[in-house]
């Protein structure tokens, strides 16, 4: 990227390819409106956030059967139904809630049933982008993707994606049916895609959709205080937020905040600009419950953050400097992505 200027570079606003679709470089992850981070917002607050996102030009909305065990798909379907033709709607199968528990299940019969349930909750005849949320190690990826390909043939899904898988699994799946997008965690402190999937997606013409690009709220103006997180907040089980590692990460965050201030942007904008600069095939989907933060995130596309600022940010916080793994050992064992340095 070039030095700051008042002009908005066309490349920062230009649509990025997501299979048959063109979407802005920043979309919206909808998970935290129903799931994972303690008590969700009220229905009114969630609806306001989604409606504002449409009004502000968000095109890609990302949900999943897992989020709220169906509640998030219902929310997105109810609120965004009137805007269906103006958005790209993504959801996921292969990991759902069963009797109050998270279950990974990539069997073809489960995928077919989950898709029908999703279509009903989303109030649509077709899902634009349907991901396999997790690789079920008991089921060859070829079988799971084969069942998803049948959904495309049946007109229930337009394009297929994978989530949290390695480059080798991506290539196996892509040989069965074209994969439009690979969704993996990617941020300044989660560099796993740089171990293979960033290059593989580029080679195959697959979009890399970066979830948690703001490091689960850590790279924002109000980082979480672990001791104040509500019960069942998933960050309570993540090593980077525990007492042994969090202080070291906060020290790195302070350095990043200084870089952002020196270049006239917020820390969140610096972090998002860094992710979006990692390739023209990269799309970020930060989540938020705040209209103010939503607008702050989207305003990143109106900024020309200098290359030296992005380079400095990437040196301050990376796989070698971050403290702690991104998941605990149990969760890491479930995930097919490449490990990254000492941080998992």
**220 occurs within a structural domain:** yes
DSSP result, 37-101: SSSPPPHHHHHHHHHHHHHTT--EEE--STGGGGHHHHHHHHHHGGGGGGSEEEEEESEEEETTE
Angle formed by the axes of helices 291-298 and 43-55, nearest 10°: 20
Residue 218: inside a domain, yes or no? yes
Q: How high is the pLDDT of residue 14?
A: 86
Q: What is the model's pLDDT at position 11?
A: 57
CATH value at residue 103: 3.20.20.100
Looking at residue 344, its pLDDT comes to: 66
Residue 322's domain comprises 15-343
- Mean of the per-residue pLDDT values for the chain? 95
Q: Residue 297 falls within a domain, yes or no?
A: yes
Q: How many domains does one find in the chain?
A: 1
Residue 236 lies in a domain: yes
pLDDT score at 13:
74
Q: Which of 62, 25, 259 is nearest to 163 (CA)?
A: 62
The 10s digit of each residue's pLDDT in 53-86 is 999 999 999 999 999 999 999 999 999 999 999 9
Is 67 labeled as catalytic in the residue annotation? yes
Q: Is residue 24 part of a domain?
A: yes
Does residue 313 lie in a domain region? yes
Residue 60 covered by a domain: yes
> On the CB side of 35, how many CA atoms lie within 13 Å of its CA?
22
Measured between alpha carbons, how far apart are the two ends of the chain, in Å?
A: 30
Strand ranges, E, within 186-278: 207-211
Please tell me the distance from the alpha carbon of residue 170 to that of residue 172, in angstroms, as a whole number: 5
5 part of a folded domain = no
Q: Which of 37, 67, 131, 246 is catalytic?
A: 67
Under-70 pLDDT residues of the chain? 1-12, 341-344
Report the C-alpha gap between 233 and 235 in whole angstroms.
5
pLDDT of 6 reads 36
Look at phi and psi of residue 47 and say left if phi exceeds 0, alpha if psi is from -120 to 50, else beta: alpha
Task: State the Cα–Cα distance between residues 89 and 67, nearest whole angstrom.
Answer: 15
């Amino acid at each position: 990227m070039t030095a700051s200027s008042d002009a908005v570079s066309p490349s920062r606003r230009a649509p990025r390819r997501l299979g048959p679709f063109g979407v802005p470089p920043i979309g919206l992850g909808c998970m935290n409106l129903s799931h994972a981070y303690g008590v969700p917002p009220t229905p009114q607050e969630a609806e306001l956030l989604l409606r504002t996102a449409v009004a502000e030009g968000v095109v890609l909305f990302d949900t999943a059967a897992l989020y709220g065990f169906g509640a998030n798909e219902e929310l997105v379907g109810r609120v965004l139904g009137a805007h269906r033709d103006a958005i790209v709607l993504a959801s996921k199968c292969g990991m759902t809630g069963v009797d109050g528990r998270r279950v990974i299940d990539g069997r073809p019969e489960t995928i077919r049933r989950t898709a029908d349930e999703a279509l009903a909750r989303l109030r649509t005849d077709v899902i634009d982008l349907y991901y396999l949320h997790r690789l079920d190690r008991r089921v060859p990826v070829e079988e799971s993707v084969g069942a998803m390909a049948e959904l495309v043939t049946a007109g229930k899904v337009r394009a297929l994606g994978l989530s949290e898988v390695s480059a080798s699994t991506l290539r196996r799946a892509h040989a069965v049916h074209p994969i439009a997008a690979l969704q993996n965690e990617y941020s300044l402190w989660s560099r796993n895609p740089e171990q293979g999937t960033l290059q593989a997606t580029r080679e195959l013409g697959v979009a890399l959709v970066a979830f948690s690009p703001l490091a689960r709220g850590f790279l924002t103006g109000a980082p979480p205080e672990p001791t104040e997180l509500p019960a069942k907040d998933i960050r309570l089980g993540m090593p980077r937020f525990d007492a042994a590692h969090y202080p070291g990460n906060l020290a790195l965050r302070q350095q990043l905040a200084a870089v952002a201030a020196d270049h006239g942007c917020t820390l969140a904008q610096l972090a998002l600009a860094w992710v979006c600069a990692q390739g023209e095939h990269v799309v970020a989907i930060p989540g938020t419950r705040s209209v103010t933060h939503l607008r702050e995130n989207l305003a990143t596309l109106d900024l020309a953050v200098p290359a030296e600022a992005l380079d400095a940010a990437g040196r301050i916080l990376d796989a070698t400097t971050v403290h702690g793994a991104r998941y605990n050992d149990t969760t890491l064992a479930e995930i097919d992505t490449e490990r990254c340095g000492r941080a998992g």
